[in-house]
Amino acid sequence: MAPLPPVTRRIVGMMNVLAGFMLLTALALRMGVTYVAYQQAGMAALYNQQFFISLLLLAGGMFLLRYGWRMLRRKNNVID
């Protein structure tokens, strides 16, 4: 598969950065909901499946930011 042209690479990078930022913003807002659940149910609220999915989404959001930023900076080696 041929590499993307520079303009397309910058657009895709910008979209990845935007998607990562929006995902991390949503997870930051979700922290308040998790805190209220922790206050009401104690440690049982932190052991549910949604908490672990939130951790996976956090890692995914960070990866989207990193991947998009490297595309914006015109680096060819996205994966180290």
> 68, 23 in Cβ contact below 8 A?
no
Task: Give the chain's end-to-end CA distance (angstroms, integer).
Answer: 20
Residue 40 identity (one-letter amino acid): Q
> Global pTM?
0.76
∠ CA 23-63-67, nearest 5°, is: 110
Structure confidence by residue, pLDDT tens digits, 20-76: 999 999 999 988 888 888 888 888 777 777 778 888 999 999 999 998 988 888 765
Measured in whole angstroms, how far is the alpha carbon of residue 63 from the centre of its chain? 6
∠ CA 41-55-52, nearest 5°, is: 50
Query: What's the pLDDT band for 15 if we cut at 50, 70, 90?
Result: very high
Query: What's the pLDDT band for 79 if we cut at 50, 70, 90?
Result: low
